[in-house]
Amino acid sequence: MPKQVKIKYTQLFIDNEFVDAVSGRKFPTKNPVNDEVIALISEGDKADVDKAVDAAKRAFDRNSTWRQMNPYIRGQLMHKLADLITRDLDYIATLETLDNGKTYANAVDDIQASVAFLRYYAGWCDKIQGSTIPTGDTKVTLTQREPIGVVGQIIPWNYPFMMLIWKWGPALATGCTLILKPAEQTPLTALYAAALAKEAGFPAGVVNVIPGYGPTAGAAIAEHSEIRKVSFTGSTEIGHIIMAAAAKSNLKRVSLELGGKSPLVIFDDADVKEAAKIAHDAIFSNHGQNCCAGSRTFVHSKIYDEFIKHAKQLALARKVGDPFNSETDQGPQIDQDMVDKIMSLINSGKQEGAIVEAGGNRTGNTGYFVEPTVFSNVTDDMRIAKEEIFGPVQTILKFDTLDEVIERANRTNYGLASGVITKDINKALKFAQAIEAGSVWVNCYDAITPQTPFGGFKRSGIGRELGEEGLKEYLEIKTISIKITKEN
Instruction: Please name the residues in contact with 67: beta carbons below 8 A apart, sequence gap of 6 or more.
Output: 60, 61, 175
Do 187 and 165 share a structural domain? Answer: yes
Active site residue 257: yes
Q: How many CA atoms lie within 13 A of 396 on its CB side?
A: 28
DSSP secondary structure of 249-294: TT--EEEEE-----EEEE-TTS-HHHHHHHHHHHHHGGGG--TT--
Question: Sign of torsion, CA 219 225 231 237?
Answer: positive
DSSP letter (8 states) at residue 484: P
Do 437 and 349 share a structural domain? Answer: yes
**pLDDT computed for residue 365 by the predictor:** 85
DSSP letter (8 states) at residue 416: S
Is residue 484 in some structural domain?
no
Inter-residue contact 227 to 150 (CB < 8 Å) = yes
Number of domains in the chain: 2
Is residue 1 in some structural domain?
no
- The string of pLDDT tens digits covering residues 284-322 is 999 999 999 999 999 999 999 999 999 999 999 999 999
Do 278 and 412 share a structural domain? Answer: yes
How far, in Å, are 42, 112, 485 from residue 8 at the CA level?
Answer: 13, 21, 63
Is residue 271 in some structural domain?
yes
Helix or strand (DSSP H, E) at 396 = strand 393-399
Is residue 246 in some structural domain?
yes
Of 43, 184, 223, 257, the active-site residue reads 257
d(CA 260, CA 348): 19
Could you count the other beta carbons within 10 Å of the beta carbon of residue 373? 27
Do 303 and 202 share a structural domain? Answer: no
Question: Sign of torsion, CA 289 290 294 296?
Answer: positive
**pLDDT computed for residue 148 by the predictor:** 98
Is residue 4 in some structural domain?
no
Do 277 and 249 share a structural domain? Answer: no
Domain housing 319 = 263-449
Do 270 and 224 share a structural domain? Answer: no
Do 282 and 164 share a structural domain? Answer: no
**pLDDT computed for residue 3 by the predictor:** 60
Read off φ and ψ for residue 319, nearest 5 degrees: -90, 125
**pLDDT computed for residue 1 by the predictor:** 41
Inter-residue contact 378 to 326 (CB < 8 Å) = no
Is residue 184 in some structural domain?
yes
Q: Which residues pair with 256 in a beta bridge?
A: 232, 462
Residue 365's SS3 state is coil
Do 431 and 310 share a structural domain? Answer: yes
Do 253 and 306 share a structural domain? Answer: no
**pLDDT computed for residue 488 by the predictor:** 64
**What CATH number is associated with residue 213?**
3.40.605.10
d(CA 263, CA 393): 14
Residue in 236, 298, 287 with CA at minimum distance from that of residue 262: 298
**What CATH number is associated with residue 424?**
3.40.309.10
Helix or strand (DSSP H, E) at 92 = helix 89-100
How far, in Å, are 156, 272, 307, 385 from residue 280 at the CA level?
Answer: 23, 12, 11, 16
Ranges under pLDDT 50 in the chain: 1-2
Inter-residue contact 189 to 180 (CB < 8 Å) = no
